[in-house]
Amino acid sequence: MPELPEVEVTRRSFADGIEGAVIAGAWQGKPLRWPLGAPLEVLTARTVQAVRRRGKYLLLHLDQGVLLIHLGMSGSLLFGRHLPPPGAHDHFDLHTSGGTLRLHDPRRFGAVVWADSLADPRARKLLERLGAEPLDADFDLPAFHAALRQRRAAIKSVLLAGDVVVGAGNIYACEALFLARIHPATPAARLSWQRAQRLHAAIRQVLQQAIELGGSSLRDFSSAAGESGHFQLNTSVYGRAGQPCHVCASAIRQMRQGQRSTYFCARCQHF
């Protein structure tokens, strides 16, 4: 599933090309996870003013209204001036004076939703429960620690839930917990100020590194420019079960948490 780094990499790969462009029209194929919420014609002649991100949502701010795009489990965007005709797994095209933005999604869990503004109930329903943005300057350590102290679930599960902090998907949660030396099954409420501080810094470091490396292409992720990510080639624990820890040389372990695979070093990471 594309996570925050992949979505941010995607945003950066087409934002400059589409900002300021005028929409000539749109095409929609098979139904996606949620309906668009308006006739396609409402997009025609609108200008794309900015492309921003909130959590795993891409926000195309128009001169009237906003398009919220989610990549779902297997989606990706492609942007270019001369794209081929839509294929079987292409489900939405936005034709603009700068090029065509296309949503490709084999599993159709992605979505494109139109709203009058971010205050529109349709946008609020999708965005209002999202946690803090970990790469923003206002990712507040005291608030982060206070939120963790209210949660009894395992810290890995809390990170994946996305209502305390967004973006720490499975691969990045494993990596951040290793960097912070915290066992993934530790109850979040047990984290001291010092351990929460380490985790706060580790989340930011891991996500920033992932963005710099183009995200993770575990299956078929690529940016809107068609470029694959390389973070998966630099992991410390994720996907390395049975291999030696880079720090202590003991074998990396794997366990299941909430139907997701968790990777960790039992010697380096503590309850």
- Tracing tokens 């989340």 back to the chain, one arrives at 203
Identify the active-site residue in 54, 181, 253, 260.
260
Q: CA 141 → CA 75, 145, 198, distances in Å?
A: 33, 6, 10
Identify the active-site residue in 2, 5, 134, 184.
2
Instruction: Specify whether the CB–CB gap between 176 and 163 falls below 8 A.
Output: no
Q: Residue 225 burial by CB count (10 A; 0-12/13-18/19+): exposed, middle or buried?
A: middle
Whether residue 3 lies in the annotated active site: yes
Handedness of CA 90, 64, 10, 126 (dihedral sign): negative
Burial 185-214 (b: 16+ CB within 10 A, else e): bbebeebeeebbebbbebbbebbeebbebb
Whether residue 2 lies in the annotated active site: yes
Written as six digits, the tokens of 201 are 């810094």
Identify the active-site residue in 11, 46, 53, 56.
56
Handedness of CA 244, 246, 249, 255 (dihedral sign): negative
- Secondary structure element (H or E) that encloses residue 264, with its range: strand 260-264
Cα dihedral 113→119→121→126 (10° resolution):
60
Beta bridge partners of 51: 60
Written as six digits, the tokens of 70 are 């989610």
Written as six digits, the tokens of 37 are 């919420």
The catalytic site residues sit at: 2-3, 56, 260
